[in-house]
Chain A
Amino acid sequence: MDINFTLVGLTVAFVVFILICRAYVWPPLINAMRARQERIAHGLENAEKAEEALAKSNADAEVLLRDARAEGQRIIEQARAQATMVVDDAKEQAREEGERRLTAARAEITQEINRARESLRQEVAYLAVVGASRILSSEIDRRKHAAMLENLVREL
C-alpha cells in the first residue's frame, strides 16, 4: 500500500466540493423543492375548497332554479286567470252594452211610434176638422174650437 500526498489532495478536494455544494448546489435545489411542495399543497387545498364551493353553488343554483320555475308557473297561472277574467269582463261589458243599446233602440222605436201616432192623430184631427168644416160649410175657427179639437185628438 502506497500512501502519499494524493491523500491530502483528495481531502482538500472533498472539503472544497462540500463547500461548493453547500453554497451553490444544495440550497437552490432544496428551496425550490420545498417551495414546490408548498405550492402543490396549496393547490390541492384550493382545489378542494373550489370543489366544495362548486357543490354549494350547484345546490344553490338548483334551489334558485326550482324557486324561479315555481314562480314562473305561478305567474303564468295568475296571468291565465287574469286573462280569463278580462275576457269575461269584456264579454259581460259587451253583453251589457248590447243590451243597453237594444233597450235604447227599443225606447227610441217606441218613442218614434208614439210620435208617429201623435202626428197621425193630429193629422187625422186636422183632416177631420177640415172634413167636418167642409161638410158643415162653415169654417171652424181653430182658436174657438181648440178645446174641442184637443178632445178629439185625444180620443182618436
Chain B
Amino acid sequence: MEAVFFYVFGTLAVISALLTVTRRDAVASAFWLIFCFLSVAALFALLSAHFMAILQILLYAGAIMVFFLFVIMFLGKSQDRVKTSDWRVVALGVLSLIGATVVLTRLVGSTHAPFPAVADSYGGIEAVSEVLLTKYLFAFELTGLLLTAAVIGAVYLARREAPGSRGAKAPVVRGLTSQAATSTASSSAVQHEDVPHA
C-alpha cells in the first residue's frame, strides 16, 4: 500500500517538476511548482517525517511560493515568450540526468554508514522538538539571529529612500581602466546576467 502511494506521489512530483520547467508562462510554472512541493510533502509524510511535510507545505508551497509569485508580478510578465526548445539545453539536461542517476546510485551503494533502525515516532513533531531544543539548541537560537539579520537586510535594501536624502553621490559606473586583466571574471558574470533573456 505504502509503495503504491510512493509511486503515485513520486510520479506526480516528477511530472509536475517537468511541467514547471517546460511551461512558458512564469505564473503557470509557479503553480506547477506548488503542485510539485505538495507531492514532495506527501512523500515526506509517507516517510513519517511529519514535521518535514508540514514545513514543506507551510514554507515552500506557502510562503516561498507567495514570494515567487510576488516577484514574478513585480517584474511583470515577459511579453516575449522564453524559447525553450534549444536541443543543446535538452541534451545537457538529459546528460546530467543520466550522470546524476549513476552517481547517486553509486553513492548510496558505496557507504557503510552506521545508521541504526529508527523508532516509529522518528520524524514526528515531538521527535524533532526533542533534538531541536536539546541537542541543537544553539543552532536553533542562532537561526533566530540569522533571520533577524535577514530582516534587517531585506528592510534596508527594499526601503524607499527618504526624499531629498543623500543626493550628493550620483551612481558611479565602472571605469574602463580596471578591466584589463579581469575580463574573464567580468565577462563570465555578464553572461550570467544574460541567461534569463536568452
Bind each other: no
